[in-house]
C-alpha cells in the first residue's frame, strides 16, 4: 500500500487560496454589514479627562461612537478561563476594553467609530477629540530594576525559577569560566493578515468570524466577557494568514466587534491596520540575559547560570521564559535558571514563535561558542562532550532523541570541515567568510483533542475537528492521515476545521496542532473503518463474511482479505446493503505531554470543547473507541518529550560596509515522524527566515519620551525579503517518536527559529572576530 503520510503532498487548500476562494475572517460579506474603526490613546500613562465625539457622530454614515461612557459592561474572566489559550486567554486580563478612563500604554483602544463604510468610519475616527491627564510612564527595564520581581510560574505553569546542584561549587570547580550579558530587542509578529473580527447577533445567539489561533479559546473568552454561555457563541476561523503567536490570545478588538454590533443592531467588522498591529495585540518582550558557564579542561560543564530580565505590562503578566531550555539542553550537575520581570507602560507581550527558546538559545548558544573559543575547542565537539542522554533536569528518558545525527549531517551539509577557527582567516573576494552553529530545541507538545469522521456511500469521507489551519498545512496533513487510515485516495477526503460547532481541538500554539489533532483524526477514521469492517464480517452477502478483522486490508476504498485478495468488498457496498446514510467514527483523546514538561495539562481537556450537532461530546464518559483506549493507556509520565535539531550557517561579511549576508543555512531536525515533507521543510525554512530577521534586522523601537512605537510599519520595521534569502538545506531524521502518539509526530512550527540567531552571531564572530551580544547585528556594530 502506498502510504501518503510523510510524502510531499501539495496543499489540499492550495487552489482555494490562489483563486481567492478561501475566505479569511475579514472576507465574509454579511447583509447590512457596518464597519468599525478604532481610536487609540496617544499617551502611555494617565487618564482621559475629556473625550468629545460630537463632530465624529455628525459625519455622514456614522452610526455610533462607542467609548467607556456608553459601552456595555463586561465580565472579568475567571482564573480558570484566563490562564491559557486553550481555555480562553484574554491578552490583557486587567484591561477589559472601554470600561473606564485609565490609560496604560500608547496605542490602547479608547473608542470605536461605527459607520456604513470603512472610509466613513476611518474619517470620523480622526475627528474624535481626546484630552488627557498625563502621568509619568515607565518605559525601560533599566529604569524599573528596583521594582523587578521573580514570578513563580510562567504561562501554563511553566517553571521559570529552576536550580539543581550547588552552583557556587560548580564554578569553584571549573578550570575555565565565561560570563557575559546578551540582549534581544522587542519583536513584533507581523503576520501578512492583520487581526480581523466580524460579529453578528441573532437574538441571543452570536456568530463571530475571527482571525485566531485558538477557535475554542477565543470563543470561550469572548463568551465570558459578554456574560454568555459558550454554546450561545459560534466562532468561525476557516483560514488564517499567519499568526506566529499574536493570534493565540484574545485581544480587545475581538470583543469590541460584538459590543459594537450589539450597540448598532447590525453586524460589525473591525480590521486592524498595520500600525495598530504594533500596539495592542502582543509582541515579544525585550530580554537582558546574563549567562555564566564553567567547565573542566576537556569542556565538561560544571556549572550553568542563566539569569533573564524581561518585561510585561501593568495590565497582565506574561513572562518570556528565555531560560526554559537551558535546564535540559546539556548535561551539567549544577544549574541555576532565573527570570525577573518589570512592569512597563507598553502593550502586553505574548507568545511569539518559540517563546523563550528563540531568544534564550541565542544567549545560551552564543555563550557556549565563547566557551569553545576559550577552550580552543570545536563548537560541535563541546556540545557532544555535554550531550544529555536523558533529561538532566528531571532524570526522565527522552521519548526519542537523535541530536548526534543532526550535528553530523548538519556539519556535512554546511561544509564544517572548511571552517577555520581563527576569526577572519577565510576570505571570498572582498568578503570575510564565517561559519557558525547552534543547537535547536523545542518541546514535543501534545494536548487533548477530539475528532469525528463520516464515511458516505459515494466514497467520500469527511473529518471534523475544531482546531485551525494557521497557514501551516493542517488541512493537508489531516487529509493525508485520514486517507492512510481509511485506505482512500486523498481526493476523497474532506477536512473541516475552524468552527466551534465541531469536536474540540487544540489551539495552535506550542507546536502542538499536528501532534494533537492528527491522532484524533486517525483514531476516528480507524473507528469508522472498524465499524464498517465488522458489518461486512457479519453480513452473509459480503465476500468478507466470517473473516477475522485483523486479516482485512483496505486500498482505494476496497476491503480485501490479506492472503486472498479476491475476497473483497467496498465501503460503498457495505453502507448500501446496510441501508446506512453514512458511518461515523469518533475519538475523544485525553492525552497531554505538557504535564511531563513541568506544565499544566491543556485546559481543552477540562470541558472547554466544541459544541453544536457535530461537536457534542459525552463529557465525563470514557471514549468507547478501542484505538483511543490504547493511546491513552501509554505511560507518558516517565518520558520527556522534546524535539532537537542542529543549525549551521555560512555568512559573508563586507568588512568595509559592515553588512552581513547569510549565504547558506543547513538545518537538520529531529521532530519524530514527518507528516508532509513539503510543509515540514516550509516550516523549518520559515523559522530560519524568522531567525535571520531576528539576528540581523528586526527590532521594535519606542520613543523614549512618550513610549510610542516608532518602527510601526513594514517600511521601518525590517523583515527579510527575497533578496536576503540564503541557500537552504533542510533535512529530517524522520524516525517516529514511539511514545508521543501512534503516529509518532512532534510539531515542527517553531523549532526552526531556535538556535538560528545564535548560529548567525557565531558565524559573524568567526568571520570578523567581533562578538556581538546585542541583537540585531547591524552594520554600525561591525564597523
Question: Strands 176-184, 162-164: parallel, antiparallel or unpaired by DSSP?
Answer: unpaired
Task: Report the distance separating Cα 127 and Cα 39, nearest Å.
Answer: 10
Query: Is 87 within 8 Å of 606 (Cβ atoms)?
Result: yes
With CA atoms as reference, report the closest residue to 83 among 262, 189, 180, 224.
Answer: 224
Say which residue the cell 470561550 belongs to: 220
- How many CB atoms sit inside 10 A of residue 722's CB? 5
Distance from C-alpha of 732 to C-alpha of 677, rounded to nearest angstrom = 9
Q: What does the radius of gyration of the chain's CA atoms come to, in whole angstroms?
A: 27
Q: How far apart (Å, rounded) are the C-alpha atoms in residues 469 and 514?
A: 10
Residue labelled with grid coordinates 527575497: 722
- Which residues are CB-contacts of 508 (< 8 A; sequence separation ≥ 6)? 213, 214, 243, 248, 467, 468, 470, 472, 474, 749
Instruction: Tell me how many helices (H) and strands (E) the chain has.
Output: 17, 29
Active site members = 750
Write the secondary structure of 335-385 as one string of H (helix), E (strand) and C (coil).
EEEEEEEEEECCCCCCCCCCCCHHHHHHHHHHHHHHHHHHHCCCHHHHHHH
Cα angle 448, 254, 699 (rounded to 5 degrees) comes to: 90
Looking from the CA of 497 toward its CB, the CA atoms found within 13 Å total 35
Find the helix or strand (DSSP H, E) in which 629 lies. helix 626-632
Strands (E), 396-478: 397-398, 427-428, 431-443, 449-455, 461-464
Per DSSP, 604 falls in state G
Give the orientation angle of helix 252-264 with respect to helix 215-226, to 10 degrees: 50
CA–CA dist 674, 518 (Å, integer):
12
Whole-angstrom Cα distance, residue 371 to residue 294? Answer: 8
Are 541 and 577 in contact, with CB atoms under 8 Å apart? Answer: yes
Q: How many CB atoms lie within 10 A of CB 314?
A: 19
Task: Spell out the residues 6+ positions from residue 278 whose beta carbon is closer than 8 angstroms to its own.
Answer: 107, 188, 700, 709, 711, 712, 713, 717
Neighbours of 417 (CB within 10 A): 8
Question: 570 pairs with which residues across the strands?
Answer: 558
User: Cβ neighbours of residue 392 under 8 Å, at least 6 residues apart?
Assistant: 327, 328, 330, 331, 332, 335
DSSP 23: P
Angstrom distance (rounded) from CA 500 to CA 232: 11
8 Å CB contact between 187 and 351: no
Largest Cα–Cα distance of the chain, in whole Å? Answer: 84
Could you give the CA distance from residue 510 to residue 716 in angstroms, rounded to a whole number? 29
Beta strands 335-344 and 162-164 are: antiparallel
Number of Cβ within 10 Å of residue 617's Cβ equals 17
What is the distance between the alpha carbons of residues 104 and 373, in angstroms, rounded to a whole number? Answer: 45
- Torsions phi, psi of 694, nearest 5? -60, -40
Helix (H), strand (E) at residue 631: helix 626-632
Sheet of strand 552-555: strand arrangement: 552-555, 558-561, 564-570
Amino acid at each position: 500500500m502506498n502510504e501518503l503520510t510523510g510524502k510531499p503532498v501539495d496543499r489540499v487548500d492550495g487552489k482555494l487560496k490562489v483563486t481567492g476562494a478561501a475566505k479569511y475572517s475579514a472576507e465574509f460579506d454579511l447583509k447590512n454589514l457596518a464597519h468599525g474603526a478604532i481610536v487609540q490613546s496617544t499617551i502611555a500613562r494617565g487618564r482621559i479627562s475629556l473625550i468629545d465625539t460630537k463632530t465624529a457622530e455628525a459625519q455622514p454614515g456614522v452610526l455610533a461612537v462607542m467609548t467607556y461612557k456608553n459601552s456595555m459592561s463586561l465580565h472579568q474572566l475567571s482564573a480558570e478561563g484566563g490562564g491559557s489559550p486553550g481555555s480562553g486567554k484574554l491578552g490583557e486580563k486587567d484591561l477589559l476594553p472601554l470600561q473606564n478612563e485609565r490609560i496604560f500604554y500608547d496605542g490602547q483602544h479608547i473608542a470605536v467609530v461605527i459607520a456604513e463604510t470603512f472610509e466613513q468610519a476611518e474619517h470620523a475616527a480622526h475627528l474624535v477629540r481626546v484630552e488627557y491627564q498625563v502621568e509619568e510612564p515607565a518605559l525601560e527595564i533599566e529604569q524599573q530594576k528596583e521594582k523587578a520581581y521573580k514570578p513563580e510560574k510562567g504561562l501554563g505553569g511553566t517553571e521559570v525559577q529552576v536550580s539543581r546542584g550547588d552552583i557556587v561549587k560548580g564554578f569553584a570547580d571549573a578550570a575555565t569560566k565565561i560570563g557575559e550579558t546578551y540582549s534581544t530587542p522587542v519583536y513584533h509578529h507581523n503576520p501578512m493578515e492583520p487581526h480581523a473580527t466580524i460579529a453578528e447577533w441573532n437574538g441571543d445567539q452570536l456568530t463571530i468570524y475571527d482571525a485566531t489561533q485558538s477557535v475554542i479559546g477565543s470563543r470561550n473568552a469572548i463568551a465570558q466577557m459578554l456574560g454568555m454561555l459558550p454554546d450561545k457563541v459560534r466562532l468561525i476561523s476557516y483560514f488564517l494568514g499567519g499568526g506566529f503567536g499574536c493570534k493565540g490570545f484574545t485581544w480587545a478588538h475581538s470583543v469590541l466587534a460584538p459590543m459594537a454590533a450589539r450597540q448598532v443592531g447590525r453586524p460589525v467588522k473591525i480590521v486592524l491596520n498595520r500600525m495598530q498591529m504594533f500596539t495592542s495585540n502582543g509582541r515579544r518582550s525585550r530580554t537582558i540575559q546574563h549567562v555564566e558557564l564553567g567547565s573542566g579542561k576537556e569542556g565538561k560543564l560544571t556549572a550553568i547560570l542563566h539569569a533573564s530580565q524581561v518585561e510585561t505590562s501593568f495590565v497582565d503578566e506574561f513572562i518570556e521564559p528565555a531560560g526554559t531550555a537551558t535546564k535540559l539542553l546539556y548535561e551539567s550537575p549544577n544549574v541555576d535558571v532565573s527570570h525577573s520581570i518589570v512592569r512597563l507602560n507598553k502593550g502586553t507581550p505574548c507568545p511569539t514563535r518559540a517563546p523563550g527558546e528563540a531568544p534564550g538559545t541565542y544567549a545560551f548558544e552564543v555563550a557556549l561558542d565563547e566557551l569553545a573559543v576559550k577552550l580552543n575547542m570545536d563548537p560541535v565537539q563541546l556540545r557532544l562532550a555535554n550531550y544529555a542522554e536523558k533529561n538532566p533536569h528531571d532524570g526522565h528518558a527522552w521519548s526519542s532523541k537523535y541530536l548526534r545525527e543532526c550535528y553530523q549531517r548538519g556539519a556535512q551539509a554546511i561544509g564544517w570541515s572548511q571552517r577555520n577557527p581563527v576569526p577572519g582567516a577565510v576570505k571570498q573576494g572582498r568578503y570575510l567568510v564565517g561559519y557558525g552553529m547552534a543547537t535547536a530545541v523545542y518541546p514535543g507538545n501534545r494536548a487533548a483533542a477530539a475528532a469525528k469522521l463520516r464515511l458516505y456511500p459515494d466514497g467520500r469521507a469527511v473529518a471534523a475537528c475544531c482546531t485551525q489551519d494557521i497557514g501551516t498545512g493542517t488541512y493537508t496533513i489531516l487529509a493525508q492521515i485520514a486517507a492512510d487510515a481509511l485506505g482512500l485516495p486523498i481526493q476523497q477526503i474532506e477536512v473541516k476545521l475552524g468552527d466551534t460547532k465541531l469536536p474540540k481541538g487544540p489551539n495552535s500554539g506550542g507546536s502542538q496542532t499536528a501532534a494533537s489533532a492528527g491522532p484524533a483524526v486517525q483514531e476516528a477514521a480507524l473507528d469508522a473503518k472498524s465499524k464498517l469492517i465488522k458489518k461486512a464480517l457479519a453480513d452473509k452477502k459480503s465476500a468478507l463474511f466470517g473473516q477475522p478483522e485483523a486479516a482485512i486490508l483496505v486500498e482505494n476504498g476496497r476491503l480485501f482479505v490479506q492472503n486472498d485478495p479476491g475476497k473483497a468488498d467496498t465501503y460503498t457496498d457495505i453502507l448500501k446493503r446496510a441501508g446506512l446514510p453514512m458511518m461515523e467514527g469518533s475519538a475523544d483523546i485525553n492525552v497531554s505531554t505538557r504535564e511531563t514538561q513541568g506544565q499544566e495539562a491543556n485546559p481543552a481537556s477540562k470541558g472547554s470543547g466544541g459544541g453544536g450537532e457535530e461537536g457534542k461530546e459525552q463529557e465525563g464518559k470514557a471514549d468507547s473507541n478501542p484505538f483511543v483506549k490504547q493511546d491513552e493507556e501509554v505511560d507518558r509520565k516517565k518520558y520527556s518529550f522534546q524535539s532537537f535539531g542542529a543549525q549551521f550557517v555560512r555568512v559573508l561579511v563586507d568588512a568595509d560596509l559592515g553588512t552581513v549576508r547569510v549565504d547558506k543555512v543547513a538545518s537538520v531536525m529531529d521532530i519524530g515522524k514527518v507528516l508532509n515533507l513539503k510543509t515540514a521543510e516550509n516550516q523549518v525554512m520559515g523559522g530560519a527566515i524568522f531567525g535571520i530577521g531576528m539576528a540581523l534586522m528586526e527590532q521594535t523601537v519606542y520613543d523614549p519620551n512618550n513610549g510610542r512605537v516608532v518602527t510601526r510599519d513594514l517600511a521601518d520595521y525590517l523583515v527579510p525579503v527575497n533578496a536576503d534569502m540564503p541557500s537552504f538545506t533542510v533535512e529530517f531524521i524522520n524516525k517516529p517518536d514511539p511514545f508521543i502518539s501512534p503516529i509518532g509526530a512532534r510539531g515542527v512550527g517553531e523549532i526552526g527559529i531556535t538556535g538560528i540567531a545564535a548560529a548567525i552571531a557565531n558565524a559573524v564572530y568567526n568571520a570578523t572576530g567581533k562578538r556581538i551580544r546585542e541583537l540585531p547585528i547591524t552594520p554600525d556594530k561591525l564597523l
